[in-house]
Amino acid sequence: MRVVVLAIPALACLAAFQSAPLPKPQKGGSPELAKIKNPVAATPESLATGKRAYQRLCVKCHGPEGKGDGTAATGAQPSDLTEAKTVYGSSDGDLFAIVQQGTSPDMEGYAGRLNDTEIWNIVNYVKTLRHP
């Protein structure tokens, strides 16, 4: 019974987050987005799921190691995801908004193709590409 009581507030918080509109990604990162923490733990399952989605949707522009050297990149150079800082910010919330909403015609948003959990899995995986 106690588990159910604790789970209900957690689910309500997650639902409130998912329904609230996010600010658009902005160059340098967003202070509002930086406050958002990833609700999906970076488990081996999350990382594997995020990697599969990255390979299906992101590798064509960002490259297999995330260096921005994919073969299908057109227009502006894709972000090098191995760097600690990216053009549009590097917090979990920034990365989520970038994948969800996109940043330009070259970097489309995936809100219509991926649910929030799938995007958070990609965020978890992309963070493993960074160099310390």
CATH at 74: 1.10.760.10
Q: What percent of the chain has pLDDT over 70?
A: 85
Which residues, at least 6 apart from 71, have a Cβ–Cβ distance to it below 8 Å?
60
pLDDT tens per residue across span 85-131: 889 999 999 999 999 999 998 899 999 999 999 999 999 999 999 98
Integer Cα distance of 42 and 50 in angstroms: 10
* Residue 3 pLDDT: 47
Q: Per the domain annotation, does 91 fall within a domain? A: yes
Residue ranges making up the domain that contains 54: 24-128
The predicted structure's pLDDT at residue 27: 94
Q: 126: which 2 tokens?
A: 């992309």
pTM: 0.83
Determine the pLDDT at residue 132: 74
The number of domains in the chain is: 1
Structural domain contains residue 38 = yes
Alpha helices in 20-128 (DSSP H): 31-34, 44-57, 59-62, 92-101, 116-128
Q: Is residue 92 part of a domain?
A: yes
Higher pLDDT, 116 or 76: 116
pLDDT at 30: 95
% of residues, the chain, pLDDT over 90: 73
Query: What distance in Å separates the CA atoms of residue 18 and residue 71, rounded to the nearest whole number?
Result: 33
Residue 71 falls within a domain, yes or no? yes
Q: Shortest CA distance to 98 belongs to which of 88, 83, 86, 84?
A: 88
